[in-house]
Structure 1
Amino acid sequence: MGISQGDEVTWNTSQGRTRGRAVEKRVERFEFEGQTFNASADEPYWIVESGTTGARAAHKEGSLDKRR
C-alpha cells in the first residue's frame, strides 16, 4: 500500500504526531528549503503539507503513514 499524491498522511515531529497531505513525490536528488535530499526510486521522499499550519516539509516515504 503506497502513498499517492493527495493522500492524507501522518508523521512524527518534535511537537508530536502531525497530519496533512502528500503533495509531491521525489525520486531523484533534490533541494528543498536549503537542504539537499538524496531521494531515489528505492527510497522516495514526499513533500507534505501540514493540515494545521500549511507548512511544507520533505519526508522519507517510510516515515509517513497513510490515513485510512
Structure 2
Amino acid sequence: MAAIEKGDEVTWNSHGGTAEGTVEREITEDTEAGGRTVRAGKDDPQYLVRSEKTGGTAVHRPTALTKKE
C-alpha cells in the first residue's frame, strides 16, 4: 500500500456509503481533531481528512483510507 500524504485524495466507508475527501494532515501524537480526542503516535499515525461532500473533517487510521487513482 502506498503511503498516504497531505493533499492525497482518498475514499473511506461512512454511515451513508463511500465518502471522498482530501488528507489535510498526518497526526502523530495525541491531540484534539475532527471533534474528538485522537490517540496517535509516530508508529500509529492517523489522518485528518476533509469531506468533499460536506466540508466537515474526520480522523481515520490509514487502514480505513484508500487513495483515489
* Fold similarity call, TM over 0.5: yes
Give unmatched runs, 5+ long, in structure 1.
none
SS of alignment partner, residue 7 of structure 2: coil
Q: What amino acid does structure 2 have at the position aligned with 1:23?
A: E
The equivalent residue for 2:47 is: 46
Task: Name the count of aligned residue pairs.
Answer: 67
The equivalent residue for 1:21 is: 22
How far did 1:31 drift? Answer: 1.1
TM-score, scaled to structure 2: 0.89
Q: CA RMSD in A?
A: 0.9
Identity of aligned residues (%): 36
- Deviating above 4 A after TM superposition, structure 1's stretches of 4 or more consecutive aligned residues are none
Give unmatched runs, 5+ long, in structure 2.
none
